[in-house]
Chains A and B, each alone.
Chain A
Amino acid sequence: MCGVLSGGVATWNTALDGAFAFQHQVPVLTMHTTGDGLIVPENEQAYRSVVDRAGHGDLLRQVFVNRAGHCAFTPAETITAVQTLENRMSTGQWDVPSPAAMNAEAAALGPQYNIFAGGSSVVPTAPAFISYTPARYLRPFDLFDRTGSQPLFPVPVGHAR
């Protein structure tokens, strides 16, 4: 999972090494590069499928950045994603701009935020949000038992903050 932002943390459920209960009741925005060879963007399809199955699909929005690399976001792209989520938090409704509009928002932040820092070099980098539908996750991804909606892994602790 790459670049997950979530508005509000009310309760949490213990997860076991990446197998999550997906019982969240708060909005979530994910951001992933299309050319991530470490955590492939197909993970976002798997995440979407489980969140949908948990009945919380409307709380999730997913955006993609057309770039190679793992979590290879510019500050402007990250800030734009934060602002998109914050808008959802303040209005109660998703208003995820089109990729072109998000790119315009990111660009408007200024050149100092539209950079990519690799090692000691800083390279001007245009925002690259893109419309993208990740392919199906390439291995079985089923966190639920065969009978229905019970998580395959136990959720041992609900810890109210």
Chain B
Amino acid sequence: MPGAANPAQDVGDPVTQAWMLAHGYALAGSSYSTTGWAIAQALPDQISTLNAFDSTYGQPKTTVAWGHSLGGIITAGLL
């Protein structure tokens, strides 16, 4: 059943996004396949995002996982 729009995000705010993109970083993020307390879905979704990035642009030299709030929990869970 469709719910509210759930666009993919790769940064918490546009100002930080602009700085990152202007300083050699690429940003990638998923919207997770479900909303709400989506930890179980978000972990494989984030890995899939990395894999999609690799196959599209090539594997980056280094990767930083980051997130605010629930994104921070998910980041900790990725380790």
Q: Which A residues form the contact surface with B (CB < 8 A)? A: 1-9, 12-18, 20, 22-24, 26, 28, 30, 39, 47, 70-71, 73, 75, 78-79, 82, 85-86, 89, 109, 112-113, 115, 117, 159, 161
By the criterion CB–CB under 8 Å, are B43 and A14 in contact? yes
Q: In the complex, what residues of A have CB within 8 A of residue B47's CB?
A: 9, 12, 159, 161
Contact mask for chain B residues 2-20; partner A; CB cutoff 8 A; 1 contact, 0 none:
0000000000110110011
Does B72 lie within 8 Å of A22, measured CB to CB?
A: no
With A9-B63, A161-B50 as contacts: A79 and B79 at CB distance below 8 Å: no
A20's contact among B19, B50, B79, by CB below 8 Å, is which? Answer: B79
Which residue in A5, A47, A78 is a CB contact (below 8 Å) of B65? Answer: A5
Q: Name the B residues within 8 Å of A86 (CB-CB).
A: 64
Contact between chains at A26 and B79 (CB < 8 Å): yes
Question: B: which residues have CB within 8 A of A?
Answer: 12-13, 15-16, 19-20, 37, 39-40, 43-44, 47, 50-51, 62-69, 71-73, 75-79
Contact B75 A79 (CB under 8 A): no
Output the nearest chain A residue to B54 by Cβ-Cβ distance.
Answer: A161
Instruction: Tell me how far the C-beta of A85 lies from the nearest C-beta in chain B, rounded to whole angstroms.
Output: 7
Closest 7 CB pairs of A and B: A24-B79, A15-B77, A4-B72, A1-B72, A75-B15, A75-B16, A4-B75
Q: In the assembled complex, which residues on chain B have CB atoms less than 8 Å from the CB atom of A75? A: 13, 15-16, 19
- Contacts A9-B63, A30-B72 known; 18 new A-B pairs at CB < 8 A: A1-B73, A1-B75, A1-B76, A2-B68, A4-B67, A6-B66, A6-B75, A6-B76, A6-B78, A12-B47, A12-B78, A14-B43, A15-B39, A18-B73, A39-B69, A47-B76, A71-B12, A75-B19
B interface secondary structure, majority: helix
Task: List 30 A-B residue pairs with CB atoms under 8 Å apart, sorted by A's residue number.
Answer: A1-B75, A2-B68, A2-B69, A3-B67, A4-B66, A4-B75, A4-B76, A6-B75, A8-B64, A12-B43, A12-B77, A15-B77, A16-B40, A17-B37, A18-B73, A18-B77, A22-B79, A24-B79, A28-B76, A28-B79, A47-B76, A71-B12, A71-B68, A71-B69, A75-B19, A86-B64, A89-B64, A115-B15, A159-B47, A161-B47
